Amino acid sequence: MPLDLMHDVFSGGKYGKAALVSSFGAESAVLLHLLSRVNKAAPVLFVDTQMLFQETLDYQLHLTETFGLTNVQRISAESETLRRNDVFGRLHLSDTDKCCDLRKLAPLNTALQEYDTWVSGRKRHQSMSRAQIEVFEQDAGRTKISPLADWSRDDIAAYFSEHDLPRHPLVAKGFASIGCAPCTTAVKAGEDARAGRWRNSEKTECGIHFENGKIVRPAA
């Protein structure tokens, strides 16, 4: 049961010092709500790439207040680092891997240094590339836990309905998975939820998530 597992992680201390990493995206409210039921003061790491939709920033504030979360940490690359590496905010047009490294991976990796465990909202149903994920994985010396790994779309929808959770405003516009504004489009009926991420590219993950122990990169 995800609630029991969340209790073990964030209230029982069973897996050491732990943080939840959330994008405050289309389905993030489920895991954040579960967290609020076990420990509202637990750390939540929100990586703000400074390329996000305004709707995501607004939704982050709304969910934080609605769920009473008291330790949401907004993490970004240092402004000097951005100035040196992507002064015009156009790196994503030429090299999405470098851009994700700069704006997501590096700030998150720095923030995770002090934790033994991090918790992710990944689910197997989201895409073919996530079909094999496990609830417990090892990731760069840390335990990575995905409590909702085996939840289906129907499970997610039922939880939203049961707890009357607020929806990300872009969901109503066809966005099933929501990342940075320049790299996210709506999806059509029948597509993977993540088909709108880096559309027309081989890239499927930002690199925050690993598969089979390897960082996910585009095919050569």
- Least separation in angstroms between CB 199 and ligand SF4: 11
User: CB-wise, 44 or 183, nearer to ligand SF4?
Assistant: 183
Q: Which residue is nearest to ligand SF4 (CB)?
A: 180
Residue 10 is classified by DSSP as: H
Q: Tell how far CA 148 is from the center of its chain.
A: 12
- Give all strands (DSSP E) within the chain, no chain letters: 18-21, 44-47, 72-75, 117-119, 136-139, 142-145, 210-211, 214-215
- Least separation in angstroms between CB 140 and ligand SF4: 19
- Say if residues 6 and 108 touch (Cβ distance below 8 Å): no
- Least separation in angstroms between CB 179 and ligand SF4: 5
User: CB-wise, 145 or 183, nearer to ligand SF4?
Assistant: 183
User: CB-wise, 38 or 105, nearer to ligand SF4?
Assistant: 105
Query: Which spans of this chain sit near ligand SF4 (rule: CB under 6 A)?
Result: 49, 51, 92, 96, 99-100, 103-104, 179-180, 182-183, 206
In the three-class reduction of DSSP (H, G, I as helix; E, B as strand; rest coil), residue 8 is classed as helix
Q: Is residue 183 flagged as an active site residue?
A: no
Residue 44 is classified by DSSP as: E
Catalytic site residue from 99, 100, 180, 206:
206
Provide the pairing of β-strand 210-211 with 72-75. unpaired
User: CB-wise, 39 or 96, nearer to ligand SF4?
Assistant: 96
Residue with tokens 């690199």: 207
- What whole-number distance in Å separates Cα of residue 162 and Cα of residue 45? 26
What amino acid positions are annotated as catalytic residues?
206
